[in-house]
Amino acid sequence: MKAEELFEAAKEAGAVPKSAKLQSSFQFGVAADELASLVLEETKTATASVYELYEKDEPLPE
C-alpha cells in the first residue's frame, strides 16, 4: 500500500480529519504493510525510539 492510499484509508476510517493533507511519510519497521494495517485496525497505537540514539542537544519527542 502506498503512503497516499494509506492516508486516504485513514481519512475514510475517521482516524484522520477529512480535510487533512499528507505532508510527509516514512516507512517504519521491516514489515511496513503489516504495521500499517495494525495502525488502521487500531491494534498498534504507539511507536517508540531508542533514547541512546538521540544527540546530546536533540529535543526528545513528547
pLDDT in tens, 17-41: 999 998 877 777 788 889 888 988 9
Write down the pLDDT at residue 6.
86
Write down the pLDDT at residue 41.
92
Percent of the chain having pLDDT more than 70? 97
Start-end of H helices in 1-62: 3-12, 32-40
Q: What residues have CB less than 8 Å from 61, skipping those under 6 apart? A: 49
